[in-house]
Amino acid sequence: MLKKRIIPKFLIRGGRLVKLRRFDDDQREAGNPVSTAKVYDSYGIDELIFLDIDATREGRVVASSVIERVAEEVFIPFTVGGGVRSLDEIEALLKAGADKVSINSAAAADPGFVTRAASRFGDQCIVASIDYRQLSDGSRPVFAAGGQTAVGQDAIDWALRLQDAHAGEILLSSIDRDGMMTGYDLDLIAALSDRLNVPLIASSGAGSLADCKAALDAGASAITISSMFIFTDHSPIKVRTYLNTNGVPVRSQKGSRS
Amino acid sequence: MTTAIIDYGMGNVRSLSNALEYVGNDVVLTKDPGALADADRLLLPGVGAFGDAMAAINASGLRPLLDRLALEERKPVLGVCLGMQLFAKRSLEHGVHEGLGWLDAEVLPMRPTPPSKVPHVGWNAITPMPAHDWLFDGLPAGESDFYFVHSFHMVCHDSVDCAATCEHGGTFTAAVARGNLVATQFHPEKSQDNGLQLLTNWLNREF
């Protein structure tokens, strides 16, 4: 049986890991990407995601030197994103050792880019990342460029459109819940995972073990966890043990090499 | 012992190379015919579309050499992910494409029972076939999870070639083995301890 995945998500800024709240610049230092990846690898985590949060704004792509160093140190799959807008950039990241590439702003500018990337590298390589806000009228508009540019699309419609464009997975991040540790957007996760044929990676909101279970029970194939790992004593092992005990299929054995 | 990773311009080979080196094997990434012929073992990687990969192999001019090394000299070859699928006679991924034809098999789209999703992404337990259980020696008791990421699967017409199966809204082939030809749909280089153990088993196997 396919296991539900627990994925630490790291934001990279200037070669370091940082934590934000609601995508704003009130940042907190969170460590070195390579050594942190090694620690999580030793916990037997399922995958890793690295997003360079300044790349799009600064008109560049995430540094492949960091990716190469991570690939040398860990034997688990990882996804990389940040400023990716050409097939050559995707190829460079895959060659550096990334397994999947996350595309956000470039897809907003042209969903056809997702199609071209999927046809060249395979659907399974392309993770379409969607950042959205939750408005009081119940709508969920999508934003690109690190939450700065309105795409003019609703999160559900946009996810289905990117699936049609051959995205292999959808990474769904709530801007309003990001870094707040108040729980995932369960309504949207349930609605979307019901309608998507591709896996949904739910992001933003994990603050407790129960939050993690709720998102996976709602239908997500995977959850990302960031603040909860960095700022609480909930380790990946604790999360997995809790999920396993409570009937959620997760990988049971530890993956650490001695 | 040296393993040559066949460099035909497709795929993420850095992780494979890192993993093989980690378990103590010398690794070269090469498209040089002499280096491929001299290597003790070959590894066929692959990420991307089947048709593109076969076109790249055919364009590289290496096809006759690879056929000879694999089928006549019976050099050990390990295929990984798309590399496994390329062993088949044909694939129905975006059209009909001829494969290497080393195994009597074909590659079809995954059509799992809902709510299982495609691509099949993540850690899933495999069931080894008794005839090929050497490949899975030394794995911990209970379920052994490996990392998969794929949308197509291989169907072996000769069922004895199937080395392991996996469940994802239906049963599919997770690994194949026929003499010197061994391949996995999952990524051993991304499967932590289980994957490193499998690579060690392959390197220790005398064919």
pLDDT tens readout for residues B76-123: 999 999 999 999 999 998 899 999 999 999 999 999 999 999 999 999
Query: Does the pLDDT at position A230 exceed 70?
Result: yes
Chain A nearest CA to B73, separation (Å) = 31
In the three-class reduction of DSSP (H, G, I as helix; E, B as strand; rest coil), residue B88 is classed as coil
Tell me what the mean pLDDT of segment A71-84 comes to.
89
| Active site positions of B, annotated | 81, 187, 189
- In the block, which residue shows the tokens 């280096």? B35
Chain B nearest CA to A37, separation (Å) = 13
Q: Which of B82, B117, B124, B146 to mutate to test the interface with A (most CBs of A within 10 A)?
A: B117
Tell me what the mean pLDDT of segment A61-88 comes to.
87
Minimum-distance CB partner of B118 among A71, A198, A252: A198
Q: Which residues of A touch B145 (CB under 8 A)?
A: 3, 251-253
Q: Which of A2, A39, A76 to mutate to test the interface with B (most CBs of B within 10 A)?
A: A2
Q: What dihedral angle (degrees, nearest 10) is formed by the CA atoms of B162, B167, B171, B174?
A: -20
Category of B95 on φ-ψ map: left (φ > 0), alpha (ψ -120 to 50) or beta: left
User: Could you give the ipTM of this predicted complex?
Assistant: 0.90
Closest by CA to A37, choosing from A23, A49, A28, A25, is: A49
The confidence band for B172, taking pLDDT boundaries of 50, 70 and 90, is: very high
The confidence band for A25, taking pLDDT boundaries of 50, 70 and 90, is: low
Cβ pairs A/B, distance under 8 A: 120
Interface residue B9 vs chain A (CB under 8 A): no
Category of B28 on φ-ψ map: left (φ > 0), alpha (ψ -120 to 50) or beta: beta
The confidence score (pLDDT) of residue B13 equals 82
The confidence band for A253, taking pLDDT boundaries of 50, 70 and 90, is: low
C-alpha separations of B156 from B12, B102, B105, B153, B159 in Å: 26, 11, 4, 10, 6
Minimum-distance CB partner of A255 among B122, B189, B193: B193
Write out residues 212-241 of A within 8 Å (CB-CB) of B.
219, 221-222
Average pLDDT, chain B: 95
For the sheet with B90-91, list strands across it. B97-98, B90-91, B105-109, B152-156
Average pLDDT, chain A: 90
Closest by CA to B125, choosing from A104, A250, A98, is: A250
Convert the pLDDT of each residue in A165-180 to its tens digit.
999 999 999 999 998 9
Percent of chain B with pLDDT over 70: 99
Tell me what the mean pLDDT of segment A35-43 comes to.
89
Write the CB contacts of A234 (distance below 8 Å, at least 6 apart in sequence): A208, A209, A228
The confidence band for A256, taking pLDDT boundaries of 50, 70 and 90, is: very low
The confidence score (pLDDT) of residue A231 equals 86
Tell me what the mean pLDDT of segment A109-115 comes to.
96
Residue in chain B nearest A72 by alpha carbon: B18
In the three-class reduction of DSSP (H, G, I as helix; E, B as strand; rest coil), residue B95 is classed as coil
Q: Which residues of B touch A99 (CB under 8 A)?
A: 12, 15, 149, 190
Query: Does the pLDDT at position B161 exceed 80?
Result: yes
Query: Does the pLDDT at position A69 exceed 50?
Result: yes
Taking chain B, what is the end-to-end CA distance rounded to the nearest angstrom?
14
Query: Does the pLDDT at position A247 exceed 90?
Result: yes
Write the CB contacts of A16 (distance below 8 Å, at least 6 apart in sequence): A29, A30, A31, A32, A33
Write out residues 128-187 of B within 8 Å (CB-CB) of A.
140, 142-143, 145, 147, 149-151, 167-168, 187
Helices (H), ranges, B61-155: 63-67, 82-85
Tell me what the mean pLDDT of segment A98-106 comes to.
94
Taking the C-alpha atoms of residue A115 and residue A113, their distance in angstroms, rounded to an integer, is 5
Residue in chain B nearest A7 by alpha carbon: B122
Percent of chain A with pLDDT over 70: 97
Interface residue A92 vs chain B (CB under 8 A): no
The confidence score (pLDDT) of residue B189 equals 93
State which amino acid sits at residue A66: V
Q: Where are the beta strands (DSSP E) in B56-133?
A: 77-80, 90-91, 97-98, 105-109, 120-128
Minimum-distance CB partner of B15 among A46, A71, A125: A71
* Higher-confidence position of A40 and A246: A246
Minimum-distance CB partner of A99 among B12, B52, B120: B12
Residue B192 and residue A75: Cβ atoms within 8 Å? yes
Percent of chain B with pLDDT over 90: 88
Q: Which of A76, A250, A254 to mutate to test the interface with B (most CBs of B within 10 A)?
A: A76
The confidence band for A60, taking pLDDT boundaries of 50, 70 and 90, is: confident
pTM of the model as a whole: 0.93
The confidence score (pLDDT) of residue A258 equals 38
